[in-house]
Amino acid sequence: MQLTLSTAALSEAEGDLLVMPVFEAEIADAGARSQAFLAVDAALQGALSDAAAQENFTAKAEAIFAMHALGRVRSRRVLLVGLGDSSRFEVEGLRMAAGRVAKFAAKTNARSLTFALPDMPIDAAIRAVAEGLLLGGYSFRAYKTGKAAQSPTLTEAHLALPHGLAPTPEMEATLQDAIALAEATNWARDLVNTPSHDMTPTILAERAVDMAREAGLFAEVLDRADIEQRGMGMFLAVAQGSVQAPKLIHLAWKPEGEALNAPALSLVGKAITFDSGGLSLKPSEGMVWMKTDMAGSAAVLGAMKAIARVKPPFPVHAWMGACENMPGGAAYKLGDVLTSHAGKTVEIHNTDAEGRLVLGDILSLAAADKPALLIDLATLTGAIAVALGLFNSGLFTDDDEVASAILEAAGEAGESTWRMPLDARLRGDIDSPVADLKNVGDRYGGSITAALFLKEFVGKTPWAHLDIAGTARSKSERGYLDIGASGTGVRTLVELVRRRAAAMRSVD
């Protein structure tokens, strides 16, 4: 889809759809209507407001009302999309509304549209609408056949600036950044949606390297012998039940000059390309979506794709331990004691608590480089979805400054995130009678004890853990989300990097 900024009068905008985002008050009260709404309604001789009233359209968030323009404006149809209550409006609502428009366009075979940007801070409006249209236009069709394999038809979208505004280089840069970020998120979605037989650890590593070469990132992939040489006993144990070889993936953005020595940011993504549960076998209904257990790594990879464009004045490293968790004859067993990269020993009480084992070794490896901040993303626990539902990721950290930075970035990105307690009173739940740790705690506070387990492997490095088990996959179509991978985490990480880069550049 090609996106451009436009200053054309809305009544003169050509194409299949003329899109007008509206608040509830604009429908209920003619005096509250925007100049754009009034102008289009006048061009339609009042038919827009009359028809909306007749159809009981109230502009509830993401609600859609469409009418044929009957030749009174240049677009074939006029589309109202609801933004809800203006007193409770957040920019994410505009992003979701734009995603809803993209889905409507696909279902009605629209090829082009003009989207009237609402009267609000223009950079935020451009970002939200561009991201919403591109994310909402996403559809994973790689394994469909016939007509179902065809991509959505929307190929052209014009973002109409409010009356009196002219495009600036800053606006154009904002648009291009939004396009790049949405494309990186959709690329990450593709990784997650791909079935595990076509997204093995080896293939994931190949995709990562190909992307890195395209984006100008450093990339290296280490094999089993290299992993053994580094003493990553937990990672190797999880991998040993599968015929698929494990891969240790390392990507990096390395700035030039003195910036190369600036405090680094390190990102770690859980990369279990399929999780059967191992010998603690999952039931079928719990296993069918386990191709998505590498969504943390996809988020990190998608973020790195966009971060290469941001070019921050500090290094950014990405680490992933890719493997399958399978119940083969060589699989690790309950009661086994593993020796981690950090030297700590871990007794296995559940082989389906494998993600924290691999992450523990990768976090220990990444922390050895002493980054300024270490963040991991993982579909780690079902308990986080029980606690927060399917719309909020869980944030764990004992550093208030780090928590604030991540929550602010997530809020700006539109990815709902809630800080969870990293309650030290539960630390005793992962003590083992025969080893330093066991890999699961008691039933209660499962997401907290999982985070406390990870904390054991970061030392004194500032660290945060994002549990995205509830948000990595959407169970229904809504806004810019399709059924399947959401791409959550990509936008938060990129926004965090943008903010750190801006802060460093302002000091310089």
- Does the pLDDT value for residue 71 go beyond 70? yes
What is the CB neighbour count within 10 angstroms for residue 258? 8
Checking if the pLDDT of 162 tops 80, the result is yes
Task: Name the residue type at position 308.
Answer: A
- Cα separation, 281 vs 326, in Å, equals 9
What is the Rg, in whole angstroms, of the alpha carbon atoms belonging to the chain?
Answer: 24
Predicted local confidence at residue 505, as pLDDT: 87
- 86-144 residue pLDDT tens: 999 999 999 999 999 999 999 999 999 999 999 999 999 999 999 999 999 999 999 99
pLDDT of res. 164:
83
Query: What mean pLDDT do residues 451-479 have?
Result: 97
pLDDT confidence of residue 507: 78
CA-based torsion, 156, 159, 164, 170: positive or negative: negative
Give residue 497's pLDDT: 98
Token pair for 288:
């069918």
According to the model, what pLDDT value does residue 506 have? 84
Span 401-405, mean pLDDT? 98
* Angle between helical axes of 122-136 and 91-107 (0-180°, round to 10): 40
Instruction: Write out pLDDT tens, residues 271-329.
Output: 999 999 999 999 999 999 999 999 999 999 999 999 999 999 999 999 999 999 999 99
Q: Do 384 and 408 touch, CB atoms closer than 8 A?
A: no
Task: Pull the structure tokens for residue 245.
Answer: 């070889």
Band of pLDDT at residue 150, cut at 50, 70 and 90: confident
Give dist(CA 507, CA 176) in Å, integer.
Answer: 26
Catalytic residue ranges: 282, 356
What are the tokens at 303?
């973020």
CA distance 77 to 64: 12
- Kindly state the DSSP code that residue 74 receives in the 8-state scheme: S
Structure confidence at residue 153 (pLDDT): 82
How far apart are the C-alpha atoms of 162 and 116, rounded to whole Å? 7
Whether 95 and 61 have beta carbons less than 8 Å apart is answered as no
pLDDT tens for each residue of 18-64: 999 999 999 999 999 999 999 999 999 999 999 999 999 999 999 99
CA–CA distance, 377 with 67 (Å, rounded to integer): 44
Cβ neighbours for 472, distance < 8 A, ≥ 6 positions apart = 192, 292, 295, 296, 299, 379, 485, 486, 488, 489
pLDDT in tens, 169-210: 999 999 999 999 999 999 999 999 999 999 999 999 999 999
Task: Report residue 508's pLDDT band, with 50, 70 and 90 as the boundaries.
Answer: low
CB 157 within 8 A of CB 3: yes
* pLDDT in the model for residue 152: 79
Helix (H, G, I), strand (E, B) or coil at 27: helix
Q: What domains are there in the chain, each with its CATH number? A: 2-162 (3.40.220.10), 182-507 (3.40.630.10)
**456 has pLDDT over 80:** yes
Q: Which residue in this structure is represented by tokens 């990562």?
A: 208
Percent of the chain with pLDDT over 70: 100
Q: What is the pLDDT of residue 151?
A: 79
SS (H, E, C) 192-213: HHCCHHHCCHHHHHHHHHHHHH
Average predicted confidence (pLDDT) for the chain: 96
Say what angle helices 35-43 and 47-54 make with each other, to 10 degrees. Answer: 100
Mean pLDDT of 234-254: 98
- Distance CA(292)–CA(192), nearest Å, equals 5
